[in-house]
Structure 1
């Protein structure tokens, strides 16, 4: 540990840090009040124990909800302006952009660290004690990692494991069984603010920041209320977003598929010559059709993969803002 890091760690250990709890929300009217009660109790306990500063806050980010989520956030803010804050995005921009907006707001308001978590209370709030302890000991980023996936369905458990393995195989860095439940110091948030890409995938970006990191293992609970905002369709889209945002290996598959197609074509050519020599020309018709379908399929898949990257280049080239904040409490 460098002298600067040692001094920084001593300062953290001697003081109570200002911690912001950042929670993206989308159509959370059914469970948001309960979430606020649980977090309020937790924050009060941490403040009373001098674990965190009395300036710590809970920041809800409304990602363009279509129900009464923002009204609940306003009501919470009016009941306790010191504790509850809110950010309302002008339009639904997705979980990652909403989370980024909340983190940057917390950074701008001078927090020492921000803890991001989902609004459904599936993340164990008691794990934040260890988050903060590790932060005060010098860690800049603390990851919340699920200790087990026993409560997941067989399909979700195995597809999640497959995603992390594929992501790692493609050369991208990620933390297995970690979602977006993490603590980031102000220094780490400064580093994150320098990433300007439109196609955000924070689970892949944060591990690339460097700094001292640690993991806190916890057991993920059941959703308290409402429905999951990540059905199968969105999960697949999110996985593709992560893979295409951090790896160019799918593009190399196009070359591999082309080479395989050539080998198949050579094999089919040899088969056709053998068929002609034996006067079995009718048999070659089926092989020809199979070859046409195979080549056509490879071309379509290849064009689809290239199209994904071209589409991302197109979106990045526009330099559009990730989000537009309509109101801040």
Structure 2
């Protein structure tokens, strides 16, 4: 059956500018890190991507190594483009990245010119694209000169493989350096993708928000729900089907302490008083910063995406609510 997207799809979400660029992103973006790989059901992936686009999510975030196995999320998305989304390519922002291990040997990891350009070409081939809208260096490389990495991003943009350059996991000091190099090269640099949530606030003392504002770069924050901890799933401990119960998940059982569960329960009360789910409150909390262009969510079923799309429906978080949230979060549990 031919996919016919919802005509009112642009009424659901606000679109926010990436720094001082011309690029607008939906306030909620969909990441394909989990549940879109070769081991996952294609029809589940299709249902989630269709739900996202029907709800106004135009930005789909990938990386070379997303799967499992690595590369398979891009293959899945390439099939979705061919079968569902090809007529709407100009409405989409598609991003990919390179910087983590992708293939054996010294040229399949980190931030060398050889790795980044080869990886970008491979990502385009897997997705069947002539270009991606945004291409990221996925993580800082302590051994490759930053100048080389930024020149590789510049070549990727100038060659037409990508429209914009971006970085991920860059702290403030490194972001300033990267922005200066790309500015000198004349390369459009639009985004940094850091982790950020109520339970992971490293970028605040780092000064990253100030650096983003100074450099005119937007943030698209990942893990805003703290790997699902900031949802109703953990209100009463660790369910058997959760990430924390899985030995392969990034959220570990030892992180779901009684103190943390008490915080989740208290935050859920604030969310309920606002007429929101806890996940919606957590998304609204990260999006309250003008420097944050978009919150990047993962999903395992369409209902989670629909819930996230409604995150800003309850209006801004008031100063009183922010103070109550801060009292719950500080001091953090041991």
Could you state the TM-score of these two structures normalised by the residue count of structure 2?
0.31
- Higher relative contact order (CA closer than 8 Å, sequence separation 6+): 1
More helix by share: 1
